[in-house]
Amino acid sequence: MGDTRLQRERMVQRQIAARGVRDHYTLEAMRQVPREEFVAKPLREFAYEDSPLPIEAGQTISQPYIVALMIAEARIRPGERVLEIGAGSGYAAAVMATIAQRVYAIERVPELAALARERFERLGYDNIELRTGDGTRGWPEAAPFDAIVAAAGGPEIPDVLLRQLAPGGRLVMPVGTMRDQQRLVLVTRTGNERFVQKALGDVRFVPLIGEHGWRDDAPVTMAEPTRTHLRSRDVGRSMAGLIREAAEPLPAFDDPAFGKRFDRFADARVVLLGEASHGTSEFYRARDAITRRLVQAHGFKIIAVEADWPDAASIDRHVRSVPGVRDGEPAFQRFPTWMWRNTDVDRFVRWLRQHNHLLADSRRAGFYGLDLYSMNASMRAVIDYLDGVDPEAAHVARTRYGCLTPWSKEPAQYGHMAVTAGYAVCEDAVADMLRMLLLRRMEYTKNDGGRFFDAEQNARVVRDAEAYYRAIYYGSAESWNLRDTHMFQTLQHLLDAGGADSRAVVWAHNSHIGDARHTGMGQQRDELNIGQLCREQFGDQAALIGFGTDSGTVAAASNWDEPMQVMQVNPSMAGSYERLFHEAAVPRCLVDVRAGQHPELRERLSETQLERFIGVIYRPHTERWSHYTEAELPGQFDAYVWFDKTSAVTPLTKEHGSGVPETWPFAL
């Protein structure tokens, strides 16, 4: 999980303090308690996400913000005695025990009580007393309490609990006439029979079962924060009907009409085409058809993809028939190989080479990589280039890059070493190498401007990769932002090199091309992405097109660097955009969600929903926590392309490579 102390600090700053919780004791306690110890091992990597998580016995551990809000509103202080009702995993009790003198916790589910007790003993929380029983009765023999916190919602506050409050004591509890939807309230005892109540907002908790709560005659639902606005499905015309009205059905991929549907975006400087997963054939084939149209009919000459620069450069040399020595290694050998070495990309590359064949060099479209994972290959490319144009500079490059050589095969280890050492060991060396190349640009470009541009970009990759592998040990937001900034800047360099009239098509995941400011990425995790940066730079000249699916199959792995599998995609979750589009019952369509297009639908879709993101890893058993985040689709994209049922990409094999020319970049 990396450094959990840093994750806890980010949780406190971004999820709790940023939402208005200011109580010093609560914030410090949340910084100290290891939340990952209170969830099941398969979910520990999500322990510091901004959401509740499932725990044993069909229950949940509450969202960190809700835990902090309840404890802060209860104003728990050192030396106090606290009663908790609904201990669950034990996490909230541990947070309160970090502040208070003693915590009395009640849990009605024996399995949860046993697990919580084991955690308290193992982690050293010796000021918590836990019993299994009916929490609605309180703990009379331990009363009075300075604070009572109930993590379950009742139809009203039991009088028995109010009587167990000390004078000045505070009780925080969800209350509501519905079993699974409540208001969080704070009650303060101001006198023997005097109480003051304050509403804190709408929430959704499991029902409080017991003698003074709800009867145990219905299944307990999972608790999660409730959005305070009214759902679209509750008012007006149905969302499914609005989507059907706006949906423009899409023909077969090889029908010219497919690409023509997207002519409305042909005046943009940059058209960004997403994907909801890295392993879905329909997304690749749709991008293929759209890109062919933009290249053939509208003069786009840059295809920039979420791939490493050296790998994509081998494709580029092939499709533009650029002479040169055959690469030592085939392209796209690094995990996940199927992301680009598949039959759909193969089909597009073959077409692009054929399209370019009869065109002048200046009119040919190129294929370029935006990513920065190729530190070793990029160092090799810079040195090989300098060996040909300036052997003395090549010697300098070998010396400077020698700093990174011990970690070239496992660059993440360099990041760990740099963090452990406390300084950026190789930062100056790789930056100096790029500066040297730029200072000698005029001299080098006299020989071959194209080759110099390739070397220059590889030097940028090395510089930014060095910073990226250091950043991954400081947190996901920092490393993510560095990576997407690098990809955006690479796109800018390509556009600048192509001239004022150059235009680009970008192929990348929805998480990169949808404006991050309108998703949980930006709103909760302070992450930016290419889509956001393109909108900030190009305004309406950036067209952001997202893709989605309900079910089918996907090519993915269960963990990083494990074999690819063809997996079944779970049907979309209730409360997600994918479920809304599935319910519209349009098998494949384009929906334009720009301002001025379908205003009622745009307004209704702007209500926050869940959205699914599947990368090269797919974990269907923890899908809600692994693959969904909140989003506002019309702010995120300009258009949305929907395929209700999709299929996995087909990786290239030796059989696919039979009869290909020696120059074929995949070298099957």
Return the active site residues: 62
CA atoms of 296 and 256, how far apart (whole Å): 11
Q: What is the largest CA-CA distance in the chain?
A: 92
Sort 461 into a burial class: Cβ within 10 Å, 0-12 / 13-18 / 19+: buried
Closest CA to 333 of 304, 374, 278: 374
Instruction: Tell me the three-class secondary structure of 530-550, residue by residue.
Output: HHHHHHHHHHHHEEEEEEEEE
CA atoms of 15 and 50, how far apart (whole Å): 7
Sort 644 into a burial class: Cβ within 10 Å, 0-12 / 13-18 / 19+: buried
**Residues whose CB is less than 8 angstroms from the CB of residue 121 and which lie 6 or more positions away in sequence, other chains included:** none
With H, G, I as helix, E, B as strand and everything else as coil, classify residue 152. coil
CA atoms of 266 and 279, how far apart (whole Å): 27
Computed from CA positions of residues 660, 662, 667, 668, in that sequence, does the dihedral angle turn out positive or negative?
positive
Closest CA to 441 of 493, 502, 485, 504: 493
Instruction: Report the chain's C-alpha Rg in angstroms.
Output: 29
Strand blocks (E) in 179-297: 181-189, 195-203, 248-249, 270-273
CA atoms of 196 and 182, how far apart (whole Å): 18
Q: Which two tokens stand for residue 301?
A: 């000459």
Angle at 56 between CA 51 and CA 61, to 5 degrees: 25
Contact, 551 vs 571, CB < 8 A?
Answer: yes
CA 593 vs CA 390, 534, 538, 600: distances in Å: 53, 18, 19, 10
CA atoms of 243 and 248, how far apart (whole Å): 10
CA atoms of 96 and 87, how far apart (whole Å): 11
* Element holding 309 (H helix, E strand): helix 309-319
CA atoms of 309 and 305, how far apart (whole Å): 9
Tokens 């401007």 belong to residue: 449
* Element holding 568 (H helix, E strand): strand 565-569
With H, G, I as helix, E, B as strand and everything else as coil, classify residue 68. helix
Closest CA to 487 of 452, 524, 460: 460
CA atoms of 627 and 619, how far apart (whole Å): 8
Closest CA to 534 of 206, 265, 344: 265
DSSP 8-state code for residue 628: E
